[in-house]
Amino acid sequence: MLIHKIETFPLFYRLPAAYGDANGIKSYRTNYLFRITTDTGVEGWGECVDWLPTLHKGFQERIIPYLIGKPIVDRSKLVLTLKKWHSRAATAVSMALTEILAKSSGLSICDLWGGKYRDKVPVYASFQSYSVEPDWHKHSLEAINQAVTEGFNMIKIKIGGKSISEDQLHVLSVQHLLQGKISLALDANQSYDVAAALQWKTMLEKSPNLLWMEEPLQIKYIAEYIVLRSRFFVPLAGGENIKTASDFIPLLSQYALDYITPDPLHIAGIDEYRETLSLARKFGIRATPHAYDGALTRLYALFAQACLEPWSKMETEMIEPVEWDVMDNPFNHLISVQPSNGEIAIPYGIGIGIEIDLEMLAFYQWDGSSYE
Ligand code: MG
């Protein structure tokens, strides 16, 4: 079975109301989907998110010409080569080839991976808390209220982009809204040093609904994470931008974090992503996937979590949640899987078990222009 055809679908959406985190304010969302068809007519989808002008050129001029005519069963070799050119493209291609292998075996992705431990996986509502308006607190609280009404029982909000006192006022208002009934994670996007992170100590150690604090420090500062973890009795999470399974080993082996947050799109290849989850299990550290860029990537994070052995024997704690983007982003709906009561029912059909919304691909087609 050979790769016969690759069609690309670059997608662009200008946000009517910008939002963001400590890394800055976003004014658009993009997506890059492609469909690989084999010479026997089997199709598989891949997804990648990056700046469209260079991504599209890379696919058209190098990645697609390289892949055409290659055997599907050479997945590992192909992904390894692509990894040298563009790590996220390598992952996206590995998704499509995995789907093709599953379909041609008459299996779902989960069955191909050894089978599911569970039919449902919890998700947490992930917010970009900041906006350009001075009353960003108000907008944030309205959005959180909506997610709680929709049934989410875990949320993540952003800190680190404003002063600690302004962020703490926001967190206090959020906690007042949640009334201890909804679990809360805070994400600082690597904004602090140890001293700044410790300014949260008094407030957070009194919060029984706190899930974790994510990336208070730059992720490369392992020694500082170990110091913070010894002084701060709040679970620490991080690692969304780490690109290989082996790069997680120093964090895992030194117990610098309570949770790793690998992202299937940021680790080159969906197989290596699953190796990372497995590695976390070997070290006895929890893994809660970062899955912010794209609905198909997130679906693979859900499949992997469904197939991951439990971390605990406690009935309510058996599997860690997956990130669920609840901000204005039409590409969250490219796949019809949506949460109910904070959980996703894993699709069980052959391949990914679900169709991509082709009308949406046509509607949001990128016009080829450059953008900021
Ligand atoms: Mg994060």
| Tens digit of each residue's pLDDT (9 = 90 or more) over 56-82 | 999 999 999 999 999 999 999 999 999
Distance (angstroms) between ligand 1 centre and the Cα of 270 equals: 20
Distance (angstroms) between ligand 1 centre and the Cα of 123 equals: 15
Distance (angstroms) between ligand 1 centre and the Cα of 358 equals: 30
Query: What is the predicted pLDDT for the residue at 210?
Result: 97
Given pLDDT bands bounded at 50, 70 and 90, which one contains residue 102? Answer: very high
Given pLDDT bands bounded at 50, 70 and 90, which one contains residue 113? Answer: very high
Which of 78, 5, 81, 47 lies closest to 332, judged by CA? 47
How far apart (Å, rounded) are the C-alpha atoms in residues 263 and 14?
A: 24
Query: What is the predicted pLDDT for the residue at 147?
Result: 97
Annotation: CATH topology of 111-345: TIM Barrel (3.20.20)
Which residues does the annotation mark as catalytic? 158, 290
Average pLDDT over residues 280-296: 96
The pLDDT of residue 28 is above 80: yes
Distance (angstroms) between ligand 1 centre and the Cα of 336 equals: 25
Average pLDDT over residues 305-316: 91
Task: Provide the residue ranges of all domains of the chain, joining segments of one domain with +.
Answer: 3-108+356-363, 111-345
pTM of the model as a whole: 0.97
Which residues are bridge partners to 108 per DSSP?
A: 351
Distance (angstroms) between ligand 1 centre and the Cα of 323 equals: 10
Distance (angstroms) between ligand 1 centre and the Cα of 362 equals: 31
Distance (angstroms) between ligand 1 centre and the Cα of 215 equals: 7
- Which amino acid is present at 138? K
Distance (angstroms) between ligand 1 centre and the Cα of 240 equals: 6
Structure-model confidence comparison of residues 133 and 192, the more confident one: 192
Say how many C-beta atoms besides its own lie within 10 A of residue 119's C-beta. Answer: 12
Domain 3-108+356-363 has CATH 3.90.320.10: no
Which of 113, 119, 103 lies closest to 348, judged by CA? 119
Query: What is the predicted pLDDT for the residue at 206?
Result: 87
Query: What is the predicted pLDDT for the residue at 315?
Result: 80
Alpha-carbon Rg for the chain, nearest whole angstrom, is 20
**What pLDDT, in 10s, does the model give residues 238-255?**
999 999 999 999 999 999
Between 119-123, 204-208, 282-286, the lowest mean confidence (pLDDT) is in 204-208
User: Token match 């790793």: residue?
Assistant: 260
The pLDDT of residue 7 is above 90: yes
The pLDDT of residue 316 is above 80: no
